[in-house]
Amino acid sequence: MGKEIIADSNSLQNLILQGMGERIVLHDKNMRIRWANRAAADFYGMPLEEMYGNFCQELLGRTREECQDCPVKKVLQNGNQCQAMMSFPEGKTLLINAYPILDHGSLVGAIEVSVDITERADKEKELIRAKKESARANEAKSRFLAHVSHEIRTVMNVIMGMTDLVYEKTVDEEHKEYLEMIRDSSTFLLSLVNDLLDLSKIEAGKMELSHKYFYLHRKVEQIVSSFGLQAKKKDINLNLSIDSDVPRIVIGDYERLQQALINLVSNAVKFTHRGEVNVRVQLSQKEKRRPAGDQNGEQKKSILFTVSDTGIGIPGDQLDHIFKDFSQADTSHEGIGQEGTGLGLPITKKLVELMEGEIGVNSEPGKGSTFYFTIPLSIPLKPEININSLKGLETETETTEHPSPPEKPQLNILLAEDRAMNQKLTKIMLENIGHRVDVAGNGREAVEMHTKRQYDLILMDIHMPMMDGLEATGHIRAAEEVTERTPIIAMTASAMPEDRKECLEAGMDNYISKPISASELDEVLDETWQNRNRSRHIK
């Protein structure tokens, strides 16, 4: 009776194995096939009895050539379970699991169980292909936008610069008003270009975050106060509250935080016509901390920024769309039309997510909106803070008067710029600041003029005919192996992060992006000149 039960059991097991959809093959220690189920026979396209005694590669028409990375072979070599994904003729892809067969501790063979994953593998290949195509498309879009941005910025440099120069000399109030309209329109166009570039950089994964100290309280106060005049003109209250337990000094990307907060406050003031706009900063309930003993001596806290208003509000059916590119809430019911490009909120969302934060909104038409976002900011744990790391900022407790800055020297500057209007504008700006200027029309002229005269500083446009600014800088630096180094400032309408990096790697000392204001130019010149003097002193 016992033998009959065992026989029936073996028969049942064989029936189950033969009926399974997975391909099951038993190999001896020499890798020959000793047993297989019907699914395996169907895969090889032959009767079961013809499979026995053969190597699997022989059944695939490969004579004695073994499959590369064969999992069965690896099992027979080391006695450990092995898994592999392998491709076969007619485009088939199998996921193969191989297991050792032991007899009283000795390895006597391997059992191979495989599943057809051709459809899944094809989908994965298609997904990879689609991702590559998307990356190429984003790269092409980034290059196109960078090129268009360069051309627009080059023209805007002249428009905005000349407008400022004329405004300073204009007495007639009506004419000043006209110039202000030109300046405001130019600023809007420039912000649109910046938004498009930011969007492109984020999508292409080229937006990099900085990790710097800054005074959180002071910076938020500066951002909110910058909208004070606009709010006063509309007769609405603009309020700011910062909870006392919010850290004063934090570490993070202030520029990205500023960009996100400005977008929200700007929208709140724009779409509020009575009542108030309230900005609040507080600790989030979801507080993140670095593990104890972090090598940077920091911890992270999640900070909540809230911007609420009593403005026109947003209909509920539009809340899901306002963070999408080029989407805007319909404000026609308020009789004010649609303003802007529809990029501010999508970029804000992407920036917040780039900083590992979250953003959301609550709103009701006619009653106002509340936008909020949380971002984790690093908090220094060490009591001693290197104030030098807070570059360009004063300590909050500093109240003493500063001595008058020393008089700035009159510099002999070489301006390398190919476009006549930009030459004239920049030359006027430099001379108004008090410097002497010679002009080179391209990189080759700049190199020749540098060899004939020692300049205090060179302003070098990047995109020029005959020889561009990067190549010209290389020639100048090579010639300076036996002469004193001349500071070179890149002056370009290109605004991508890699552009600045490329300029500095080429041997330039600083970088200024068009359109250029007189104050910004003066600041960059002064910074570059001071750095040059400091390096001289160190030597």
Sheet strands side by side (includes 23-28): 33-36, 23-28, 106-116, 92-103, 82-88
> CA triplet 85, 86, 90: central angle to 5 degrees?
135
Domain extent listing, the chain: 17-116, 133-203, 212-389, 412-538
Closest CA to 161 of 459, 410, 418, 432: 432
Determine the angle formed by the axes of helices 420-433 and 518-538, rounding to 10 degrees.
Answer: 70
Beta bridge partners, 359, equal 373
Amino acid at 281: V
Phi, psi for residue 251 in degrees, rounded to 5: -125, 125
Kindly provide the b/e burial profile for residues 163-180, where b requires at least 16 CB atoms within 10 angstroms of the residue's own CB. Answer: bbeeeeeeeeeeeeeebe
Interstrand relation of 488-492 and 457-461 (parallel, antiparallel or unpaired): parallel
Per residue in 480-507, pLDDT (tens digit) is 876 788 999 998 877 666 778 888 889 9
Min mean pLDDT across 62-76, 134-148, 337-351, 399-413 is at: 399-413
Measured between alpha carbons, how far is residue 532 from residues 351, 457, 507, 521 in Å? 35, 10, 14, 17
Residue 335 vs residue 153, higher pLDDT: 153
Interstrand relation of 249-252 and 212-215 (parallel, antiparallel or unpaired): antiparallel
Interstrand relation of 237-242 and 368-380 (parallel, antiparallel or unpaired): unpaired
| Cα–Cα distance measured from residue 539 to residue 533, given in angstroms and rounded to the nearest whole number | 10
Task: Provide the 10 A C-beta neighbour count for residue 53.
Answer: 11
Q: pLDDT category, 171, cuts 50, 70, 90?
A: confident
pLDDT of 246 higher than 70:
yes
| Cα–Cα distance measured from residue 530 to residue 221, given in angstroms and rounded to the nearest whole number | 30
Per residue in 321-358, pLDDT (tens digit) is 888 765 555 554 444 444 555 678 888 998 999 999 99
pLDDT of 257 higher than 70:
yes
pLDDT of 303 higher than 90:
yes
For the 412-538 domain, the top CATH level (class) is alpha beta
| pTM higher than the cut 0.85 | no
H or E, element range at 266: helix 254-270
Amino acid at 411: L
Closest CA to 94 of 75, 112, 73: 112
Look at residue 239 in the predicted model and tell me its pLDDT: 95
For the 212-389 domain, the top CATH level (class) is alpha beta
Q: Are 268 and 309 in contact (CB under 8 A)?
A: yes
Contacts of 444-448 with CB under 8 Å at 24 or more apart are 444/472, 445/416, 446/414, 446/416, 446/472, 446/476, 447/472, 447/475, 447/476, 447/479
Look at residue 236 in the predicted model and tell me its pLDDT: 93
Alpha helices in 366-511 (DSSP H): 420-433, 443-452, 469-479, 497-505
Q: Are 220 and 242 in contact (CB under 8 A)?
A: yes
Closest CA to 376 of 475, 304, 301: 301
Q: Are 523 and 432 in contact (CB under 8 A)?
A: no
Q: Are 56 and 26 in contact (CB under 8 A)?
A: no
Phi, psi for residue 187 in degrees, rounded to 5: -65, -40
Per residue in 7-65, pLDDT (tens digit) is 455 566 667 777 677 888 899 988 898 888 888 888 878 888 888 888 887 776 655 55
The percentage of the chain sitting over the pLDDT mark of 90, rounded to a whole number, equals 29
| Cα–Cα distance measured from residue 477 to residue 484, given in angstroms and rounded to the nearest whole number | 10
pLDDT of 270 higher than 60:
yes
Look at residue 392 in the predicted model and tell me its pLDDT: 44
Q: Are 488 and 460 in contact (CB under 8 A)?
A: yes
Measured between alpha carbons, how far is residue 298 from residues 213, 395, 527 in Å? 12, 20, 31
Closest CA to 430 of 161, 171, 160: 161
Determine the angle formed by the axes of helices 497-505 and 469-479, rounding to 10 degrees.
Answer: 20
Look at residue 292 in the predicted model and tell me its pLDDT: 44
Closest CA to 280 of 222, 221, 327, 320: 221
Q: Which CATH superfamily is domain 17-116 in?
A: PAS domain (3.30.450.20)
Q: Are 305 and 270 in contact (CB under 8 A)?
A: no
Contacts of 217 (CB under 8 A, 6+ apart): 242, 246, 248, 281, 396
Min mean pLDDT across 126-135, 333-342, 463-472 is at: 333-342
